[in-house]
Structure 1
């Protein structure tokens, strides 16, 4: 007699998409709202940027504590780190903008027709375009790499079930499913 045991174990990815990726995405998207604050309110911009940065770091730390410890970076870890770098870059931009306003504008008030306001608008447009492009690339990568493995395993599971049903008919035994 022969006993064949196979096991296919995979994490449920929907949990990670909704509780990981989407929440990190929302925290990072909130960083673009900061550009609605006038440039001369640099303190407010930096304060909100740093709050979002700390929120993102805390969220990543909390997610890592709720998952089993592993010695490599998952795609969600890489995504969270990328978003943290995005938030850091925007914090640095707001600090640079504040320094330029302090050094170049005597009354520290930026109006819409000043060159610093135009630069701030361009930085916003460039940042959001880069963010969108990175996310398009990420979605393509997720479909082509991690989800490809999932599709292959589903195909193998189906082939295995079909082969087992054929063997069951040939050998006339009962397939035990747990």
Structure 2
């Protein structure tokens, strides 16, 4: 019976996650956990057992895309112009955040809500993956010293959240990101 329970738990997790992705896409990050449970055919306790907080659910939804962004950062590390590699990766993050309707806030550190020991796993993964890109650009003198990946992610999230209700959020976010990039240059 334990093997069957584990298989059931895996199926429930996958079903809850698939339904949650659809609900969040349709209704944003405030999607009803109770509706997710009903649509997935499980009890609300089962949803909460797999995802104890709304943030945990949002991070799980974002996980595949975040993993792809991490792989992309590794691919770009050590290639071509260090500033261009960093900016290409940051542009990919902007694109992800814009396309992931209202999920940009899953990348934000919220120290009041986060468990300091656990932190925000999406942001943490992106920070680790992008650190070599940023470090190389800073060493090459192409990005101001003192800039952190957390700073850049916060900037992107702010831009995306500020433009999510624009008629063309992708264009607005891209424009503001390009404006912000000028501020990344070291002062000569």
TM-score by length of 2: 0.30
Larger relative contact order (Cα-Cα within 8 Å, sequence gap ≥ 6): 1
Superposition TM-score, scaled by structure 1 size? 0.32
